[in-house]
Chains A and B, each alone.
Chain A
Amino acid sequence: MSVMNTGGNPQLNSHGELNHLLTIEGLPREVLTRILDTAAPFSEVAEREVKKVPLLRGKSVFNLFFENSTRTRTTFEIAAKRLSADVINLNISTSSANKGETLLDTADNLAAMQADMFVVRHASSGAPYLIAQHLAATGRDHIHVVNAGDGRHAHPTQGLLDMYTIRHYKKNFTGLTVAIVGDVLHSRVARSQIHALKTLGVPEVRVIAPKTLLPTGIERLGVRVFNDMREGLRGVDVVMMLRLQNERMQGALLPSTQEYFKSYGLTPEKLALAKPDAIVMHPGPMNRGVEIDSAVADGSQAVILPQVTFGIAVRMAVMAMLAGNS
């Protein structure tokens, strides 16, 4: 089954099963729900004496990180190892890319080493898609591609682990009001979250950010935009904070981080405007005192560390489902 000829969604094979995970956008609700349902039994594996199941025994998973991210790479590595796969980590920013090898040359070389799965993080939007397309065009789409974050485009496993976390604490999605707060402009996480929340039927998704950190036309994704954080947080069930991406900040989008914290930092006082049982999420790594106050980050409503734990189970589910859909 080729990435090119499935028309509707290049991630699905001809049976409508997930062959690659590139973006949440366009995935049917049943596929998202199935991933979340599958993640639940995987979370129990971590409680065992032997934290491993044999599903990916003999398979080789290549972590291709063209952009550094210790945490994401580590959780993918743990997930693959708990599935008994052999994991090869490549930090390509420090490797062949500097010698002039192209993205597709790298993919070809690793495919020639009998890779079964590529986990790809890249600063350019669409890089994992390009690899999947290239594999299909050359008859090698038995190799599965997982997008671990591409440019400003998507970070689907983060979006899925966030949905798993919300479902864990709130039981279902219908009837929730969810606010996404912060640097939406540079955030692939925000895009994946919005697509996932809308697909799973969350009736009200809000984005809260200064105008300079919002992409134009964000309303078209079906979200309500707030520039005033206090107004936007009123009555919400879930607060999803985004990291202020200092390293991506070009030009003067913000006066200063102190100024940002004053207007858009999540403090106990602002959180009090949300529902009393609201949960606080953050994809990490956190900038304490910039987008989130330590009193909130370490407080009783924060579910930031459970997010990390759930992330391993969700990534195990995704990798096991892809590997099983050959």
Chain B
Amino acid sequence: MPTPAKLPDAEALCAALADAMRGHVDPAATALVGIHTGGVWVAERLHAALGLKIAPGSIDVSFYRDDFSQRGLHANARTSQIPFDVEGAHIVIVDDVLYTGRTIRAAMNELFDYGRPAKIDLAVLTDRGGRELPVAPTWCPHSLSLPAAQMLALDRAADGRLSFHVIEK
């Protein structure tokens, strides 16, 4: 399977995503929740770029995945950390790549086990198509089309730089 000629620049997309969100989030009241692992990195960037007061949360959706009966428990499940009160909050779920929408559904289910948010938005760096659920991002600065056999993943280098690469499944 050929790799697409040009993968998006993750750093530029982080900046573009922050620009798109600015003015639509309340620095004193909006809380970010990143989805492990790439979404957590992006949430950290957005948190700094938008000057948000509330520390970002992180979610690992392993316990809420809909393919548990086929695939079993994910080997490296991590602890979800929601350091703010979900009840009545404005929450932005942050992920690196939007694909089938199943991860987002799982993340929303998990968030509701902490309380009832007033509003949930979705911010992603890129949308690669292939949706299997009626999920749409609120903010998404980029889209591309990838065959099902390829996975688009975010990397973080030792110096903190973010970049995309393609994994053949």
Residues of B within 8 A of A247 (CB): none
Further contacts, 20 of them, CB under 8 A, given A41-B63, A41-B77, A45-B63: A34-B75, A37-B77, A41-B60, A41-B62, A41-B78, A44-B81, A48-B113, A49-B86, A50-B112, A50-B113, A53-B64, A54-B63, A54-B64, A54-B109, A55-B73, A320-B73, A324-B69, A324-B72, A324-B73, A325-B72
Q: How far is the CB of A86 from chain B (nearest CB, A)?
A: 16
CB of B114 closer than 8 Å to a CB of A = yes
User: Contacts of B138 on A, CB cut-off 8 Å?
Assistant: none
A-binding residues in B (CB < 8 A): 60, 62-64, 68-69, 71-73, 75-81, 86-87, 109-110, 112-115
* Residues B114 and A48 in contact, CB atoms below 8 Å apart: yes
Chain B residues, Cβ within 8 Å of A87: none
In the assembled complex, the Cα of A326 lies from the Cα of B67 at a distance in Å of 13
Interface residues of A in 32-61 (CB under 8 A from B): 34, 37-38, 40-45, 48-50, 52-55
Would you call A303 an interface residue if the criterion is a C-beta within 8 Å of the partner chain's C-beta atoms? no
Q: B80 — which chain A residues lie within 8 A by C-beta? A: 41, 44
B68 partner residues in chain A, CB cutoff 8 A: 55, 324
Which residue on chain B has the smallest CB distance to residue A54? Answer: B64
Of all chain A residues, which has the CB nearest B75? Answer: A34
Q: Given A17-B72, A41-B79, verify A49-B109 contact (CB < 8 Å).
A: no
Kindly name the residue among B73, B79, B110, B114 whose own CB sees the greatest number of chain A CB atoms within 10 A. Answer: B73
Contacting pair B71 A38 (CB below 8 A) = no
Contact of A44 among B79, B87, B109, B112 (CB under 8 A): B79
Determine which of A42, A50, A326 lies in contact with B69 in the assembled complex, contact meaning CB atoms within 8 Å: A326
Main secondary structure of the interface of B (DSSP, over half): loop
Q: Assuming A41-B79, A48-B113, is B63 touching A321 (CB within 8 A)?
A: no
Q: Given the known A-B contacts A44-B79, A49-B114, are A324 and B71 also in contact in the complex, defined by CB atoms under 8 Å?
A: yes
Q: How far is the CA of A38 from the CA of B79 in the complex (A)?
A: 9
Tell me how far the C-beta of A51 lies from the nearest C-beta in chain B, rounded to whole angstroms. 8
Closest residue of chain B to A320 (Cβ to Cβ) is: B73
Q: How far is the CB of B60 from chain A (nearest CB, A)?
A: 6
Give the residue name and chain of the A residue nearest to B60 (CB): A41
Nearest residue, chain A, Cβ from B106: A54
- Once the chains bind, are B63 and A55 in contact (CB under 8 Å)? yes
Q: 6 closest A-B pairs (Cβ-Cβ)? A: A324-B72, A53-B63, A50-B113, A324-B73, A41-B79, A44-B79
A-B contact pairs, 13 of them (CB 8 A): A41-B62, A41-B77, A49-B114, A50-B114, A53-B63, A53-B64, A53-B110, A53-B113, A55-B73, A320-B73, A321-B73, A324-B73, A326-B72
CB pair B114 A38 closer than 8 Å: no
A42 to B63, CA, bound (A): 9
In the bound complex, how far is the Cα of B72 from the Cα of A44, in angstroms? 20
Residues of B within 8 A of A324 (CB): 68-69, 71-73
Of listed B79, B81, B87, B114, residue having the most chain A CB within 10 A: B79
